[in-house]
Amino acid sequence: MSVSIKSKDDIDGMRKAGRLASEVLDHIAPFVKPGVTTGELDRICHDYMVNVQGTIPAPLNYCPPGYTPYPKSICTSVNHQVCHGVPGDKVLKSGDILNIDVTVIADGYHGDTSRMFLVGPPSVAAKRLCDVTHEAMWRGIEVVRPGATLGDIGHAIQHFVEAQGFSVVREFCGHGIGKVFHEEPQILHYGRPGHGMRLEPGMTFTIEPMINAGKPHIRELADGWTIVTKDHSLSAQWEHTVAVTDSGVEVLTLSEGSPDWNRNVGAR
C-alpha cells in the first residue's frame, strides 16, 4: 500500500481547502429548514463555492470506476440514507435529519467534511443518533498520533458506537486525501487495537463514521449512488479531514462556524 506523505506546504494547502469546505457548511446552515428541497441546498452551495470562494466542487461529475458521473455538487443524505444521497426534489420536513457532505478543490488540494443538520425539532432518538455519531468521530480522531494504528481508530469508534446500541456501516470508510480525492489508506470505522498500518507524520485522511440506529446492512438505490439502510432505520454521519502531526493530530476542516471550533482549533 502506497501512502502519500504530505510536506508542510501540502498541509498548508489542505488546511486552506479544509477551512473553505467547512465554510460552505457554515453558509448553508441557515437554509436548512422545513420546506426547502435538497436540490435548492445544492444550488446554494454550488453558487457559493464557484462564485464566492472560487473553489471547485469535487463531487460534480466525479466518476470512479463502475459508476456514472455524480450529477451534483454536494451529497445530501436524509433520514435512512446513509451516504451519497443525490440532491433533487426531496422536500425537507420538520423532524428530518440531514447529512451534507462537501468537498472543495482549492489550489489543487481537496477539503472534505460533512455535518448532520436537524430540520426542525428532532425526535429524542434521532438527536441521540446524531450526537453519538459525532462523538464517535471524535473518539476516532483523538487516538490519531504517530505510532498509533488504523485499527486503533476503528476500534475506538466501533467500541463506543456498539456500547450505545447502534451499528457501524462496514462497506464505506474514510480515505487518504490531498491533491487526489480518494487515495490510500482506507480508514475503517471498526477494527482491533494494534492492528493495521502505523501512522506517521504527514499522513492526511478523513474519518467519517456512518452509524445506523438499526442493523448495519445497506443497499444501493437505482440512481447508482444513494446508499440506504436495509431496515429503513435512521443513519447519521460526521466527517473531518485530519493530518498526523509530529505530536498528535490536526483537524484540517474547521471554520469559525464549525460545531467543533471550541473542541479542536488546530494542532495538538
Looking at 101-105, 163-167, 181-185, 262-266, which range is the least confident one?
262-266
Query: What's the residue count for the chain?
Result: 268
Half-sphere exposure of 88 (CA within 13 A, CB side): 11
In the chain, the percentage of residues whose pLDDT exceeds 70 is: 97
Cβ neighbours around 136 below 10 Å, total: 28
Return mean pLDDT, the chain.
96
Apex CA 208: angle with CA 16 and CA 138, to 5°?
85
User: Residue 267's pLDDT band (boundaries 50, 70, 90)?
Assistant: very low
pLDDT at position 265:
41
Exposure pattern of 241-250 as b/e (b: 16+ CB <10 Å)? bbbbbeebbb
In the chain, the percentage of residues whose pLDDT exceeds 90 is: 95
User: Residue 145's pLDDT band (boundaries 50, 70, 90)?
Assistant: very high
For residue 107, give the nearest of 243, 26, 14, 8 by alpha carbon: 14
pLDDT at position 102:
98
pLDDT at position 266:
44
User: Residue 162's pLDDT band (boundaries 50, 70, 90)?
Assistant: very high
Q: What is the pTM of this model?
A: 0.95
Distance between CA atoms of residues 249 and 268, nearest Å? 6
Give the fold, CATH level 3, of 8-251.
Answer: Creatine Amidinohydrolase (3.90.230)
